[in-house]
Amino acid sequence: MQRNILKHTTITCFLIALLFNFSSIAQETTVDDYKMLFSFKTTKKFDNTRVLEVTFIGKNKKDRKDKIPIFDAEIQFFNIADEQEILLGSAKTSNEGIAELILAENQKYIIDEDGYINLTARFEGTDALDAEEEEILVRDLILKLNLEEIDSVKTILVKAFTIDSLGVEIPVEEVDLIISIEGMISKMKIKEGTIENGEIEFELLQNIPGDIDKNFTVYAQILENDEFGNVIQKKTVNWGTFDKISSIEENKLWSKAAPIWMYIVLTILLVGVWANFVYTAYNLYKIRKETKIVELKISEEVEEEK
């Protein structure tokens, strides 16, 4: 009993804090104004591991921009087929409301009679939150990426197939594929097409910037496919271009050191401004001194007349 109380404390406190926070801002806003969104996806990575990811957030029913992550919620992941239910593992949602479970390359799955893997994400619920569950049916896709020079043309070759119960490769049809290059911040899409008869080929005609060794990484991605989910493969190749870093040019408008003439002009302007201050101060001093002399003479003349 104590364990269950501790398990639900964080989520309950979050909702209470949410209630008081919104009550202080707008009395009409409550937790009931939020719709809980529970989304589940799977991605097969280039090392053949599989990532199961749940995003759990509360979305304001009126203000779509108002989204609040549900954190520290325990999500259980199952592989289900017929009467069997295997717990693959569990994970808690992060401060962003995301829970991830990584399954090893050699993970064994139970599949249904049509060759699909039933993956289910489940949140048991608490006194404050309803239970949530979502399932994904995916087939295990083998995605192979080869980078070759064919007749001096840099070529990207992708092969995609499933394997039946007898170990026979079955080529896939009508599957959209995206070819991307790894960038500093995100992947840059350079090609896209549809896999036919289990294969697709792209010619890489443009020059791609690489690192200092002229290497860059190519990604083959199948994204949000109804049958296979997300599947990603990658390879690094020495096909890039690299321009030597030119020597730093000094005293240019675009460099840290400005042109010499700018220093000269700035110096003249500053000297002129300060010279004007000094000249003005000197004249004010002379006026004040002469005023005192005049006042003294006037007072002396007045005394003589008396």
Q: For position 254, what pLDDT does the model report?
A: 56
**For the CA atoms of the chain, what is the radius of gyration?**
36
Residues 55, 37: contact at Cβ < 8 Å? yes
Q: Which CATH class is domain 142-237?
A: mainly beta
Query: Residue 217 forms beta bridges with which residues?
Result: 236
The pLDDT, as a whole number, for residue 57 is 94
Indicate the residue type of 178: I
What is this structure's pTM?
A: 0.68
- Check for a shared fold between 2-138 and 142-237: yes
Angle at 41 between CA 8 and CA 55, to 5 degrees: 35
Secondary structure class of 79 (helix, strand, coil): strand
Q: How far apart are the first and last CA of the chain?
A: 112
The angle at the Cα of 268, spanning 262 to 272, to the nearest 5 degrees, equals 145
pLDDT the model gives residue 249: 56
Whether the Cβ atoms of residue 42 and residue 140 lie closer than 8 Å to each other: no
| 116 exposure class (CB count in 10 Å sphere: 0-12, 13-18, 19+) | middle
Instruction: List the beta strands (DSSP E) in 124-166.
Output: 132-138, 142-150, 153-163
Question: Which pLDDT score is estimated for 5?
Answer: 36
3-state SS class at 218? strand
Phi, psi dihedral angles at 303 (to 5 degrees): -65, -40
What's the pLDDT at 30?
A: 66
Q: 199 has which bridge partners?
A: 159, 196
The whole-number mean pLDDT for each consecutive block of 10 residues of the chain, a chain of 306 residues, reads 41 46 48 86 96 94 85 95 92 96 94 92 89 95 94 93 89 95 86 95 86 91 95 94 64 65 88 91 87 79 72
Domain boundaries, the chain: 2-138, 142-237
CA 32 to CA 185: how far, in whole Å?
A: 38
Name the CATH code of domain 2-138 (choices 1.20.1270, 1.10.287, 1.10.3470, 2.60.40).
Answer: 2.60.40
Instruction: Give me the pLDDT at residue 24, please.
Output: 41
